[in-house]
């Protein structure tokens, strides 16, 4: 039986606990813009304390400093309007500039903006602001997440803000940010017991060295990659584009896994481990599961990247009997 995307998307799902993150992100989008900005203020004054100043280099802040300088020179009402326009994805010059930043630079932009708000250089949350019950409930839910889960929420709240004319007009994606330069050598992929598959081990090695063309070449031509809480990306070209935009500087640290051979010779694997981001450094890591389906030629037909609901899930590889 030939593999199909529909037949492989559900592999090992029974070994995972439901994550709270998709619902939190949905609830965030349902908040009014003032509440959204208030939650970001919290994120960069509380959660954001795990960000190190050394990591600012990962954000390519030279690309954002011009935008921040212009904001500093504005009146308080205009500063607030810029933030509102970013949150509502308005088509403005500022939103267009922000919209084509990389994920790292968007995170860096909000971190610096949070610093400027704390210093009083940029308009802070109004003194008479009162958080709605919905926002307060959501804030308490975010506080209960572990560091890696908070990173994911933080990333997803800012990544789609602004206005990206390239995506809006279906134009080819252009690289704005320079190539990420790792401050330390990439981690070497260790041998995983029970996982001798060259394509899987090669995937982790290439990703940890930002060799995205090499990583994508390990996929079957019709192969697909499913990022956390997103739909699968099908085909090598789309996979490379996603990796360039989203995966620069990641440290993937697989720890253990299992491999199950199917009747037709294809294989299904689940590997758990951690991922460190260049923005948050080695102090905070995300607990991750990779679910691979390999075709009979040993190519990657499908890989799903899942954010685990709890650290305990790292040990949960097999469904309970």
Is 321 among the domain residues? Answer: no
Query: What CATH number has the domain bearing residue 62?
Result: 1.10.2090.10
Say if residue 163 is in the same domain as residue 200.
no
Give the model's pLDDT for residue 240.
95
Say if residue 191 is in the same domain as residue 265.
yes
Q: Calculate mean pLDDT across residues 169-177.
A: 49
170-206 burial, b at 16+ Cβ within 10 Å, e below that, comes to eeeeeeebeebeeeeebeebeebeebebebbbbbbbb
Ranges of H-type helices in the chain: 5-8, 21-30, 33-45, 62-72, 76-87, 93-99, 103-119, 133-143, 147-159, 165-168, 198-207, 212-217, 236-246
Q: Is the pLDDT of residue 86 over 60?
A: yes
Write down which residue in 168, 190, 208 finishes a domain. Answer: 168
Count of structural domains within the chain: 2
Q: Is the pLDDT of residue 114 over 60?
A: yes
For residues 170 and 175, what is the distance between their CA atoms, to the nearest angstrom?
Answer: 15
Say if residue 256 is in the same domain as residue 293.
yes
Write down which residue in 136, 168, 200 finishes a domain. Answer: 168
Q: Calculate mean pLDDT across residues 79-106.
A: 88
Q: 3-state DSSP call for residue 49?
A: helix
Is 22 among the domain residues? Answer: no
Say if residue 10 is in the same domain as residue 55.
no
Say if residue 193 is in the same domain as residue 265.
yes
Say if residue 12 is in the same domain as residue 39.
no
For residues 97 and 180, what is the distance between their CA atoms, to the nearest angstrom?
Answer: 19
For residues 191 and 235, what is the distance between their CA atoms, to the nearest angstrom?
Answer: 28
Say if residue 138 is in the same domain as residue 65.
yes
22 compared with 311, residue with greater pLDDT: 22
- What is the pTM (predicted TM-score) of this model? 0.81
Q: Is the pLDDT of residue 180 over 80?
A: no
To the nearest whole number, what is the mean pLDDT of the chain?
84
157 compared with 259, residue with greater pLDDT: 259
180 compared with 221, residue with greater pLDDT: 221
49 compared with 66, residue with greater pLDDT: 66
- Burial group, residue 12, by CB count within 10 angstroms (0-12, 13-18, 19+): buried
Whether 213 contacts 91, CB under 8 Å: no
Query: What CATH number has the domain bearing residue 278?
Result: 3.10.450.50
Say if residue 159 is in the same domain as residue 202.
no
Is 26 among the domain residues? Answer: no
Say if residue 191 is in the same domain as residue 155.
no
> Which region among 93-102, 133-142, 173-182, 291-300 has the lowest average model confidence (pLDDT)?
173-182
Residue 234 pairs with which residues in a beta bridge?
224
Q: Is the pLDDT of residue 225 over 90?
A: yes
Write down which residue in 168, 198, 228 finishes a domain. Answer: 168
Q: What pLDDT, in 10s, does the model give residues 7-22?
A: 999 999 888 788 888 9
Residue 10's domain comprises: 5-17+179-315
Q: Is the pLDDT of residue 208 over 90?
A: yes
Q: Is the pLDDT of residue 165 over 80?
A: no
Say if residue 183 is in the same domain as residue 164.
no
Q: Calculate mean pLDDT across residues 23-49.
A: 82
For residues 317 and 297, what is the distance between their CA atoms, to the nearest angstrom?
Answer: 24
Give the model's pLDDT for residue 113.
86
Q: Is the pLDDT of residue 156 over 70?
A: yes
Q: What percent of the chain has pLDDT over 90?
A: 43
Is 189 among the domain residues? Answer: yes
In sequence order, the 6+-apart residues with CB closer than 8 A to the CB of 135 are 31, 35, 38, 39
Give the model's pLDDT for residue 172.
46
Say if residue 117 is in the same domain as residue 233.
no
Say if residue 158 is in the same domain as residue 208.
no
Is 25 among the domain residues? Answer: no
Query: Residue 248: which pLDDT band, with cuts at 50, 70 and 90?
Result: confident
CA atoms within 13 A on the CB side of 12: 25
């Amino acid at each position: 039986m030939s593999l199909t995307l529909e037949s492989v998307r559900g592999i090992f799902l029974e070994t995972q606990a439901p994550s709270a993150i998709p619902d939190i992100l949905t609830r965030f989008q349902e908040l009014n813009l003032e509440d959204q900005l208030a939650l970001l203020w919290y994120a960069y004054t509380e959660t954001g304390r795990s960000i190190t100043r050394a990591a600012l280099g990962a954000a390519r802040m030279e690309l954002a400093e011009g935008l921040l300088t212009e904001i500093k020179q504005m009146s308080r009402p205009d500063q607030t309007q810029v933030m509102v326009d970013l949150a509502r994805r308005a088509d403005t010059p500022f939103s267009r500039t922000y919209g084509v930043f990389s994920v790292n630079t968007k995170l860096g932009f909000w971190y610096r903006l949070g610093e400027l708000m704390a210093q009083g250089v940029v308009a802070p949350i109004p003194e008479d602001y009162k958080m709605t019950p919905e926002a307060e409930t959501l804030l308490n839910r975010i506080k209960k997440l572990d560091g890696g889960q908070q990173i994911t929420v933080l990333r997803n709240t800012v990544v789609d803000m602004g206005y990206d004319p390239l995506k809006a007009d279906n134009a080819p994606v252009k690289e704005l940010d320079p190539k990420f330069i790792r401050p330390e050598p990439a981690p070497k992929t260790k041998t995983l017991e029970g996982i001798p598959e060259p394509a899987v081990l090669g995937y982790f090695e290439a990703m940890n060295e930002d060799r995205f063309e090499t990583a994508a070449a390990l996929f079957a031509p019709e192969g697909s990659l499913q990022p956390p809480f997103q739909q699968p990306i099908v085909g090598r070209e789309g996979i490379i584009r996603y990796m360039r935009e989203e995966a620069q500087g990641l440290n993937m640290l697989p720890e253990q896994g299992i491999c199950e051979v199917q009747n037709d010779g294809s294989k299904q694997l689940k590997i758990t481990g951690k991922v460190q981001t260049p923005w948050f450094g080695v102090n905070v890591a995300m607990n991750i599961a990779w679910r691979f389906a390999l075709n009979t030629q040993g190519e990657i037909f499908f890989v799903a990247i899942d954010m685990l609901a709890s650290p305990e899930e790292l040990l949960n590889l097999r469904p309970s009997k």
